[in-house]
Amino acid sequence: MYLTQSLHRNVQQTPGLPATIFGNRVFTWAESGERVARIASGLKDLGIGKGDRVGILSLNSDRYHEVLLATWWLGGVVNPVNVRWSAAEIAYSLEDCDTSVLFVDDSFLALVEPITAAAPCVKTLVHCGDGEAPQGVLAYDSLLDHGSVEDAHAGGDDLAGIFYTGGTTGFPKGVMLSHTNMVVSALGSCATGDFVKPGGSLLHAAPMFHLADLAAWNGRNLLGGTHVIIPSFTPAGVIEAITKHGCTDALLVPTMIQMLVDSPDIKEADLSSFDQIVYGASPISEGLLERVTRVLPHVRLTQAYGMTELSPVATMLGPDEHTDPVLRTSCGRAAPHSELKIVDVDGVEVPRGQVGEITVTGAHVMLGYWNKPAETEAAVIDGWMRTGDGGRMDENGYVFIVDRIKDMIVSGGENVYSAEVENAVTTHPAVASCAVIGVPSAEYGESVHAVVVLQPGTALTLEELREHVKERIAGYKAPRSLEVVEALPLSGAGKVLKRELRKQHWDDTDRAVN
């Protein structure tokens, strides 16, 4: 399996169909295939060959599509940069895997100086934005002047990409994915019939650097059709793209779906072409599902759960399963390319209904973490990826995620899932946001501790909070201590950094996980 195979097939089967639509720029598959072979030639002249890393620091564009494919055409390795990271984090990831060519668009030109100062591995910058290339940065079109090269046909277990993750859980780690990893996840997801459909038009509004959108992109390549690309998510941009180009499907996260259906513009728009949303990151809430059903009644919802290390899809919950009020709180069942079990700390499968760690195996499990053999060994045991997610499985294989394992609290011998407590705490009218962690307790081992940001002009006592929570969940789960703060520490991606909160209560040696 190789990631350029679908490009060859689309050039052969639908040469005149638009491959990419970005603003007013349209390239057919025939043009896309020819451009990729020429950009590859340009990259080759910049020294890129088999196994060499090419970084991309850019909002979404048709050039993202071209750079990915041109890199693979040479047998190179892509390093799609998380655009929400700081210059220091980006420089770390580039330097960590020795990325020598970096594409950058206009939105991130200001970061170029600090990045290149801290990442001397970057030898060449290429502009992939729309304006003039600034000094010291190669113009994108200059790559097209180098003739063209043949596809090197890298594939199988060859390294295809290094995807840096980690924001909330420590230092960034480079997840190494092979061609087979990425193709298998997309093929298996498509096989359910609930991912992208053959010949449609896929909207890219979620960031293309993230494997969630790239998985959908890869599915669209495998089944043929068109990519409609907008730089980043805005409700108006999504509505305009669907209306103008008749998009059929998109990968979105629940927050984006919520902003879309709550947008005042949606009422007047004709979105009848749009019939499938694949979402990830979390289950969809009852309230949001009800709004989607009302505002976009013809749209089918599919949830995909996974992680970068799983290329990324492990489970799927199809449209029909969304009609069941219990099942739709799950993340579905193992996808056709995947196998999943829930295990205890020793890796032994637990009985159905019991909470343990979700582990996954299949040809979509990453090759490992770049230059981190110890972390790889801890994460992938006998071919099974330890996801770090706590969950339980019902009698029909549906998986319900309860918490990150490291966020689970063991208090008085009982498991307490911080996510469940947080859900109860945030329903209190005085609470704006909160995080629940375990803190040391002589009596209970760990005890439940709530860190809360209050709504302006409100107050909250521990007793009030405990009363409120105990009306909703078992008493032993109610916080035994309360800390009111101005703001919670957040990662670049907006996730709460619980390790920062824990630091104040634990020595490093007290708690192995962070």
What does the binding site for a copy of itself look like in residue numbers (CB under 8 A)?
A: 1, 5-6, 8-9, 12-15, 153, 155-156, 180, 184, 187-188, 190-193, 197-198, 222-223, 333-334, 336-340, 362-363, 383, 393, 395-397
Exposure b/e, 253-264, CB count within 10 A at least 16 = b = bbebbbebbebe
CA distance 11 to 31: 8
CA distance 223 to 312: 18
CA distances 323 to 60, 277, 374, 398, Å, are 33, 15, 43, 14
Tell me how far, at minimum, the Cβ of 305 lies from a copy of itself, in Å.
15
Cβ-based nearer residue to a copy of itself, 191 or 474: 191
Cβ-based nearer residue to a copy of itself, 108 or 400: 400
Cβ-based nearer residue to a copy of itself, 41 or 178: 178
Q: 3-class secondary structure for 62-73?
A: HHHHHHHHHHHH
Closest by alpha carbon to 429, among 403, 460, 406?
460
Question: What is the enclosing helix (H) or strand (E) of 124?
Answer: strand 124-127
Cβ-based nearer residue to a copy of itself, 128 or 184: 184
Cβ-based nearer residue to a copy of itself, 166 or 362: 362
CA distance 88 to 350: 42
Tell me how far, at minimum, the Cβ of 267 lies from a copy of itself, in Å.
33
Tell me how far, at minimum, the Cβ of 397 lies from a copy of itself, in Å.
4
Tell me how far, at minimum, the Cβ of 314 lies from a copy of itself, in Å.
12
Closest by alpha carbon to 241, among 253, 225, 226?
226
Helix axes of 462-470 and 418-426: crossing angle, nearest 10 degrees:
110
Tell me how far, at minimum, the Cβ of 341 lies from a copy of itself, in Å.
8
- What is the end-to-end Cα distance of the chain in Å, rounded? 37
Cβ-based nearer residue to a copy of itself, 129 or 332: 332
Tell me how far, at minimum, the Cβ of 388 lies from a copy of itself, in Å.
21
Question: Is residue 74 within 8 Å of residue 149, measured between CB atoms?
Answer: yes
Cβ-based nearer residue to a copy of itself, 75 or 80: 75
Tell me how far, at minimum, the Cβ of 192 lies from a copy of itself, in Å.
6
Tell me how far, at minimum, the Cβ of 274 lies from a copy of itself, in Å.
19
Cβ-based nearer residue to a copy of itself, 336 or 412: 336
Cβ-based nearer residue to a copy of itself, 75 or 174: 75
Tell me how far, at minimum, the Cβ of 165 lies from a copy of itself, in Å.
25
Q: Classify strands 226-229 and 201-204 as parallel, antiparallel or unpaired.
A: parallel
Helix (H, G, I), strand (E, B) or coil at 416: strand
What the block records as the tokens of 466 is 């405990």
Question: Is residue 489 within 8 Å of residue 496, measured between CB atoms?
Answer: yes
401 beta partners: 391
Closest by alpha carbon to 183, among 9, 37, 429?
9
Cβ-based nearer residue to a copy of itself, 96 or 194: 194
Enumerate residues 6+ apart whose C-beta is below 8 A from 3.
Answer: 68, 69, 72, 155, 160, 179, 182, 183, 218
Tell me how far, at minimum, the Cβ of 1 lies from a copy of itself, in Å.
5
Tell me how far, at minimum, the Cβ of 193 lies from a copy of itself, in Å.
5
27 beta partners: 20
CA distance 302 to 283: 10
CA distances 43 to 97, 110, 112, 144, 151, Å, are 18, 24, 20, 10, 13
Tell me how far, at minimum, the Cβ of 188 lies from a copy of itself, in Å.
6
CA distance 261 to 57: 30
Cβ-based nearer residue to a copy of itself, 61 or 185: 185
Cβ-based nearer residue to a copy of itself, 235 or 362: 362
CA distance 317 to 398: 9
Question: Is residue 391 within 8 Å of residue 419, measured between CB atoms?
Answer: no
CA distances 344 to 77, 314, 381, Å, are 36, 19, 13
Cβ-based nearer residue to a copy of itself, 147 or 156: 156
Tell me how far, at minimum, the Cβ of 69 lies from a copy of itself, in Å.
15
